[in-house]
Each structure stands twice: as C-alpha cells, then as structure tokens.
Amino acid sequence: MTVTALPSLNETDAALYAAIRLRAARLQPYFASAIFSLVPIPAPTSGSFGVDSRWRVYVDMDQARLWGIEKAAGVLLHEAHHVVRGHHHRAAAAGVTPDTWRLWNLATDAAINDDLAAAGIPLPDPVLPGSFGLVDGGLEEAYFTHLCAERARQNAGCHCGSGSGGTPLSIELTDDISGVDEVDAAATRREVAHHVVAAVGSSHAPSPQLSRWAESLLNPKVPWRSLLRGAFGRSVRTTAGVGVPTWSRPDRRSDCRGEFMQPGQQQRRPVVAVVIDTSASMSKDLLNQAITELNSLITKVGCATITVVVCDQQASPPQVVRRISQLHLSGGGNTDLRVGIRAAGELRPRPDVIAVITDGYTLWPPNAPDKTRLVAVVINDRVALPTGAGIVAVRIDEP
C-alpha cells in the first residue's frame, strides 16, 4: 500500500486510542516509552490490531470499542511486545520461512500472552503455551521448534504483521519515511529494558521471562576468551611498539646531524606480570582455564619470561617462569589482592601490564599502579567488576 500522506485517526478514534494507550502504559509502566513510540494507522474492518517492523500499529477502532478499553490496552501492549522483543529480527535467526511464519507468529504470541496473562492483563481469546501442550515461561524459539515439529495449527488465523516476523499485512504501508527507524527502535528497546530491570521487585514487577530478556539485552553474553584477548591485546599494544634509545645501534642519520652521535631506537618487548589469587574460594576449574588462556596470550606477544606473584592475604616472593604452568601455587586463606598488585607494581623492570586472576572477593586499589595497565580477570558472576584509571576488567562466568 503506497501512500503520499500518513493516514490519521479521526477525532473520535484518536480520543479512544489515547485512552487505550494511557491504560496500556499504566498496566505496564516500564513499557510506556514503547507504547508512546507506536504510530497508530487506521485499519477499519481488519478485525484486530497489527504492527509492522517500523513500529506502525494498524488499529481497527470499531473492534477496539467491542473489546473495551481494558482488553484493547492488552492488545496494544501485545503488539508493542512484538517490536520491542525484536521478533521481526529474531524470525530470520530462527530460520522462519514463508511456510512457517504462521507458526512463528503463534510462538511469539504464546510467549507474549503468557507474560500478559500472568500479570492479570485481560486479552480477547489469547493464544497461550498451554494451547499447544507447552509449559509457561519458555522462549519464542523453543515454542517455534516444538510447533514446527508438530505442525500444530499451521493454518491458524493469527496474523500480527511484519513486526511479529510474519508476512506484511495487506494494509501495511510500504514507505520508509514514517514510523520508527532502527536507530530509534534500538534506543527505545534499551530504555524499556532499563525500566524493566528497575521494576523488578516493585508492585508492577515484570515476568521472569521479560526480566531475562532485559538482562540479556543490557548485558549480552560474549565469550570471555574473546573479551580477555581484546582487553589484554589492547593493553599490550600500547607498549609493544614503543622504542627505547640504544647505543648498540647508533642512529643511521647521525652522519648528517653534525658532530654529535645520536642513539638508535630498539623496539622492546612488553613486560608482563601476573597476580594469581590462591584463596580458598577460588574455582580450580575456571582458574585452570584462565591460566591456560592467559599463558597463550602472553606467549603470543613475545614475552620470554613471566613474573608471577601468588597471593591470598599475603604476597609470595615473585616467581620468574617461562610458562605459568610451571608455577608453585600456595595459599588458601582470605583475600586481599591489593598486596599482590602493589608487589607486582614494585617489580623492576616495572611491568607494562599486570594481569590479575581472581574470583573477585577482594578489595581493589582505586587505580592501576603508576605507568601500568591492570587487566582484572574475575572468575565470578556475582561480584562487581573493579573500576578505576588504568583498570580493564573481564568476567569469566561460564560453568
């Protein structure tokens, strides 16, 4: 449907839509920014609401009158959930095809309506997980996989539009000028996610599924090895290319600079120290994984030897080894790694990078030691990561 002007609701319908939108925002306050971002488009005789990928919601206001404000608000929330949860993007990742888009629509509807029903929000004839013998609280992708295996209700009449990951409604606009673009959509999703996290434990507490969605959006899971490589690599690169004066190789341009000789430049290898937490609370399995990965990284940057400080409440004498696996680990008491970090910072030559492997149950210095970068490898998902000037933190929370 190509248009030159954006269709608008008449005065009566606009007033009713405003009341429905306000009620929806009060039912789930953490979704208010998404609700008010939707662009209403009149869709008379369509018999329902639908949404496209540009956050334009197609509303049959005559049907809304039959539902009443309370149920219509639930349907408007339902459509907002489709675009906020990114169902049109997730459909491609889930392998939805023209033959299975209706099953995807059913799966996403069930996941949304499960949350709305648990919150006591009324809906007209909702599709729920139990309709297909599925348990509540599941992911859309899991429901979709089950429905594809069963081919259940493939010809059901559920159709929420391209915003749900299905085919476009016949009444959808084809222009890209109106509606919400992907930049604003991403910003609105993050805003909603922040409000969802803030609402946990309140009188309008979101469902566990919605809370998980918000947490995963705000804190995406990235493999810790990739994070460690990036953090360690950036820290080492700041020093690896720095040249130091040397008289063993005089400057080749000294002949043209008068009677005074000039020293040449020699590229030096970075100096790396490692502080290992050996307190009683450390996970031995993840400690071994972290040491193995860090050892590989240190070898790649060309360090001939590594100086390691083993620490619980006290720092052991520094051990100079070629591989971390050659270490003698001792300890097993409480933890104060500030002692070990201080000892590493006092080494001579001064380390360019200090890598700290710990479970995080320790006090941290406010900043990295002078002229040193501190890479904290925290093997724990229940403690706050250290912050401060010169400190880079990486969390390892894989089982």
Q: Which residues of the chain have pLDDT under 70?
A: 1-6, 151-159, 162-167, 171, 175-177, 219-269, 280-287, 289-290, 293-294, 297-298, 300-304, 323-334, 381-382, 397-399
The answer on 319 and 185 residing in a single domain is no
The answer on 114 and 91 residing in a single domain is yes
The answer on 231 and 200 residing in a single domain is no
Rounded distance between C-alpha atoms, residue 28 and residue 11, angstroms:
26
Give residue for tokens 């450390």. Answer: 282
Residue 157's Cβ-count burial label (10 Å; 0-12, 13-18, 19+) is exposed
The answer on 328 and 264 residing in a single domain is yes
The answer on 210 and 230 residing in a single domain is no
Classify residue 359: in a domain, yes or no: yes
The answer on 176 and 70 residing in a single domain is yes
Question: 12-48, pLDDT tens digit by residue?
Answer: 999 999 999 999 999 999 999 999 999 999 999 889 9
Classify residue 252: in a domain, yes or no: yes
The answer on 357 and 272 residing in a single domain is yes
The answer on 190 and 161 residing in a single domain is yes
pLDDT of the residue at 58: 92
Split into its structural domains, the chain has a count of 2
Classify residue 182: in a domain, yes or no: yes
- Identify the domain containing residue 316 by its residue range: 224-395
pLDDT of the residue at 271: 80
Rounded distance between C-alpha atoms, residue 142 and residue 131, angstroms:
15
Question: 113-162, pLDDT tens digit by residue?
Answer: 999 998 899 999 888 988 888 888 888 888 888 888 776 454 455 667 76
The answer on 49 and 186 residing in a single domain is yes
The answer on 306 and 157 residing in a single domain is no
The answer on 210 and 283 residing in a single domain is no
CA angle 215, 218, 219 (to 5 degrees): 75
Contacts with 242 (C-beta within 8 Å, 6 or more apart), sequence order: 267, 268
Q: What is the pTM of this model?
A: 0.56
The answer on 198 and 264 residing in a single domain is no
